[in-house]
């Protein structure tokens, strides 16, 4: 009996997660099962995004099941393409992930359609492929094992965004069982709304993310203070505070924190715009699944506070409403997508206000290589936005501690929990530098066999 792991996206890069697990239990029925974990979009530079157009390195018709760790586009973005290209098996995820995926795919199609028109390119999927995708989707609960033949599957809370999960796969052959865990993206506790990641102590094989595998985060408690200061500075200078926010989780966490700052009187009441239809819709999903929140957040909600509503906050859903933000005199706060400033409404605000020395751009999440957000974070003084050269005079700040991913210490602790049973660790979903650094750390400090696979690498393991 054997399993074979192939890394077909998110290998020495953050985005495009796509891992294939083939398993043959050696039983009489003897068929090799093919399972996919995530089928995400490559995001970042143009060259990177070109990969979304390439055919899959397997025949989608041969895949039996797809497990989806969470609703971010770099984990779900190519699922409709998979379906379009022949996948007809079942898709499993938690309920929030299913809802987020539908939102993200619809939104992404809108962006892809505009791009395809502009560049005269073929679309990687169409509207009907999303509908077909959703018809294959089945929601599962955390911590309830289900069986697909001789494969047991459990989704565990990953604490990264609402509904995010690690996929724990138990492969049994006769009396033997091997546990392989795909972490998806892990959370960075403590966070305002979510529970910490589930603690896994008996994995035999680990496929672990490494977004921040070579860095340490600043103190988590600093982040609320930084938000508060950024708002106060914007008020003092009568500037605009722009926050490119990922629509899912970052935005809701920011709202949650700002809600507290406003209601406790720590910041003055100023206009705060959530200028992202996707984030507004995602916030509805948060309201729908409060049962997934941590105890503290549940307590606040049960005490009657609407954490996504406070004086000064306005949701601007339509383009007209969005345009009217321009007429509101600063100081003001604008939160808008996309989180890495690749498309979305934020770039219109950046185009308008980045040249204003009184304004602030606050980066609250990971910025992929090649993205506008990354270039601004790296200190570029002149950037081209929507065809116009903009000189950057606004203050650029990052709150790394706001990251939804653990740093090297968090990742290390996660691996260490399973050190007694681990046979091999596969380090994925990080840029080469980060993935390789963390791989070396695991080898050197824990004495566990570890590798950072390159795109297309396969490992056949007898079990």
Closer residue to Zn ion (CB): 165 or 372? 165
Rounded Cα distance between 98 and 75, Å, is 12
Q: E-assigned strands of 133-251?
A: 137-139, 146-148, 151-157, 165-173, 176-182, 205-209, 240-244
Closer residue to Zn ion (CB): 42 or 273? 42
Closer residue to Zn ion (CB): 73 or 272? 73
Q: What would the two tokens of residue 241 be?
A: 């505070």
Range 47-77 burial, b when 16+ CB lie within 10 A, else e: ebbeebeeebebebeebbbbbbbbbbbbbbb
At which residue do the structure tokens 């297309």 appear?
456
Closer residue to Zn ion (CB): 185 or 407? 185
Gyration radius of the chain's alpha carbons: 22
CB of 377 to Zn ion, least distance (A): 18
Residue among 430, 377, 387, 378 at smallest CA distance from 408: 430
User: Both ends of the chain: CA-CA distance in Å?
Assistant: 6
Closer residue to Zn ion (CB): 22 or 74? 74
Q: Which H helix or E strand runs over 345?
A: none
Rounded Cα distance between 217 and 268, Å, is 29
At which residue do the structure tokens 């507290």 appear?
260
Q: Which residues bind Zn ion (CB under 5 A)?
A: 72, 185
CB of 431 to Zn ion, least distance (A): 15
CB of 176 to Zn ion, least distance (A): 33
CB of 38 to Zn ion, least distance (A): 10
Closer residue to Zn ion (CB): 11 or 234? 11
Rounded Cα distance between 210 and 431, Å, is 8
H-only helix segments in 142-290: 222-237, 250-263, 277-288
CB of 359 to Zn ion, least distance (A): 28
Residue among 32, 41, 44, 4 at smallest CA distance from 20: 4
CB of 158 to Zn ion, least distance (A): 9
Question: How remote is the C-alpha of 63 from its chain's centroid?
Answer: 24
Closer residue to Zn ion (CB): 49 or 185? 185
Closer residue to Zn ion (CB): 267 or 282? 282
CB of 94 to Zn ion, least distance (A): 14
Count other Cβ atoms within 10 Å, centred on residue 208.
Answer: 27
CB of 72 to Zn ion, least distance (A): 4
């Amino acid at each position: 009996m054997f399993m074979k792991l192939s890394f077909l996206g998110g290998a020495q890069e953050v985005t495009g997660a796509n891992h294939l697990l083939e398993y043959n239990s050696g039983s009489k029925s003897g068929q090799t099962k093919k399972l996919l974990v995530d089928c995400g979009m490559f995001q970042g530079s143009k060259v990177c995004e070109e990969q979304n157009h390439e055919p899959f390195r397997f025949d989608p018709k041969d895949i039996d099941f797809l497990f989806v760790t969470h609703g971010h586009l770099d984990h779900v973005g190519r699922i409709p393409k998979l379906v379009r290209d022949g996948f007809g098996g079942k898709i499993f995820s938690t309920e929030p992930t299913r809802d987020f995926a539908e939102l993200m795919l619809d939104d992404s199609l809108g962006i892809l359609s505009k791009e395809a028109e502009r560049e005269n390119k073929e679309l990687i999927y169409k509207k009907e492929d999303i509908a077909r995708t959703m018809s294959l989707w089945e929601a599962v609960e955390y911590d309830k094992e289900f069986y697909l033949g001789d494969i047991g599957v459990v989704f565990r809370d990953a604490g990264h965004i609402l509904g995010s999960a690690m996929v724990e796969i138990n492969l049994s052959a006769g009396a033997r069982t091997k546990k392989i865990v795909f972490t998806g993206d892990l959370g960075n506790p403590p966070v305002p709304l979510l529970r910490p990641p589930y603690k896994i102590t008996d994995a035999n094989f680990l496929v672990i993310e490494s977004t921040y595998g070579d860095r340490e985060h600043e103190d988590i408690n600093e982040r609320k203070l930084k938000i508060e200061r950024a708002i106060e500075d914007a008020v003092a200078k009568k500037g605009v505070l722009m926050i490119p926010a990922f629509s899912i989780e970052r935005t809701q966490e920011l709202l949650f924190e700002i809600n507290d700052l406003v209601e406790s009187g720590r910041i003055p009441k100023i206009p705060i715009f959530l200028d992202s239809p996707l984030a507004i819709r995602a916030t509805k999903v948060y309201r729908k699944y409060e049962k997934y929140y941590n105890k503290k957040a549940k307590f606040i909600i049960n005490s009657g506070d609407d954490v996504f509503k406070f004086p000064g906050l306005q949701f601007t859903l339509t383009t007209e409403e969005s345009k009217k933000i321009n007429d509101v005199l600063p100081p003001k706060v604008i939160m808008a997508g996309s989180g890495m400033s690749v498309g979305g409404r934020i770039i219109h605000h950046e185009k308008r206000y980045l040249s204003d020395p009184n304004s602030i751009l606050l980066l609250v999440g990971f910025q992929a290589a090649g993205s506008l957000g990354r270039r601004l974070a790296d200190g570029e003084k002149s950037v081209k936005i929507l065809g116009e050269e903009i000189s950057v005079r606004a203050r650029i700040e990052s709150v790394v501690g706001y990251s939804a991913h653990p740093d090297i210490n968090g990742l290390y602790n996660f691996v260490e929990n399973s050190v007694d049973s681990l046979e091999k660790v596969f380090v994925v979903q990080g840029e080469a530098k980060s993935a390789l650094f963390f791989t070396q750390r695991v080898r050197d400090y824990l004495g566990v066999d570890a590798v950072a696979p390159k795109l297309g690498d396969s490992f056949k393991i007898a079990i």
